Amino acid sequence: MLARATPLVIDVDAGIDDAFALLYACASPRARLIGVSTVAGNVDLASATRNTSAVLALARRAEVPVWPGCAAPMLRAQNDARLFHGPSGLGYAELPEPAAKPSPMHAIDAILAAASAEPGALTLVATGPLTNIAAALLREPALPRLLGRLVLMGGAYREGGNVTPAAEFNIWHDPEAARIVFRAFAADGAAPLVAVGLDVTRQAQLRPADLENLARRCSGLPHAPALLRFLDDSSRCYFETMERLTGARVFTMHDPLAVAAAIDPSPIVTQRVAVDVETTGALTSGMTVADWRGVWGRPPNAHVAIEVEAPRFVADFLDAMERLARG
């Protein structure tokens, strides 16, 4: 399996769903996790980096390097999403201080080195704002030709946003970076850019009953107590916020679905389309504008996810958590 596993670098802002995405990647025999880079977004950079190392330790993957990256958007003030992710970024979960220290290598250097080491093979997964990816592109414009794929969680292509009526958080947080990224992958010879946005992630929901069933499945497994406690304590914060805002206790699996698109895209249907990002609109800053009718006449630069077999994805995620609990 390892010979056929997808080499991954994951770029995270280490909130709750990023943590679930990391656990998913660590548990999947279809993924070969080379390293994790961190960026400011859901929480500040220091918190994102600490959370990443702690989650990797929980998954018994402390050997995976963690590369800190950009501490603020390219042109804008730093915001966060602690409303959903709690003060630490991991809800109510308390993980031990990780023994492993972050790598001294900057995320930009690490991403470029990993892409150059396996040209045409590496899948880069971005589950936070695209600041690190844009900065890497400014350093090395050939990056889209070095990658095998870029999979990003971000945008809302036929639906409204989640931080404004028009914009999804990751894109809204640093729209200038997002515009650089989408435009760079329009170049000849660029690897596919797969955009996993709110159109599909809102269908991929974890519910308290799913975690209760997982607990029963994992009863007696050697690594279950710490893992199940983390899943329960972190998700409970998210469940409570969603119940307060929408009336439903659901956990939208934004970032794990992006990892799924990287390691097994078969549950996801995409459509090629030209996408650009609004950076100046007073009401629409951060909006991902998809030209579904070909009005611009531009060639497609993104494979936008439009459908997902959500039950199949959730079942695969839960199977992965059982593997982690089993060790």
List C-alpha distances in Å: 112 to 105, 151, 160, 194.
Answer: 11, 16, 33, 19
Residue 57 in contact with residue 95, Cβ under 8 Å? yes
Under DSSP, the state recorded for 122 is: P
Burial 107-116 (b: 16+ CB within 10 A, else e): bbbbbbebbe
Distance CA 139, CA 191 (A): 17
Do the Cβ atoms of 149 and 192 come closer than 8 Å?
yes
In this structure, how many other beta carbons lie within 10 angstroms of the beta carbon of residue 317?
24
Give the strand pairing for 193-196 and 302-308. parallel
- Are 54 and 70 in contact by the 8 Å Cβ rule? The answer is no
Does 85 participate in catalysis according to the annotation? Answer: no
CA 7 from centroid of its chain's CA atoms: 16
**CB distance 73 to 15 below 8 Å:** no
Q: Token digits for 156?
A: 């809302």
As a whole number of angstroms, the distance between CA 187 and CA 92 comes to 44
Q: How far apart are CA 149 and CA 302, in angstroms?
A: 11
Residue with tokens 């995409």: 270
Indicate if the alpha-carbon torsion angle 303, 17, 100, 316 is positive or negative: negative
Catalytic residue among 85, 173, 254, 303: 254
Report the C-alpha gap between 192 and 78 in whole angstroms.
Answer: 29
Task: Identify the DSSP state of 2.
Answer: G
What is d(CA 314, CA 326) in angstroms, rounded to the nearest whole number?
19
**Would you name the residues annotated as active-site residues?**
254
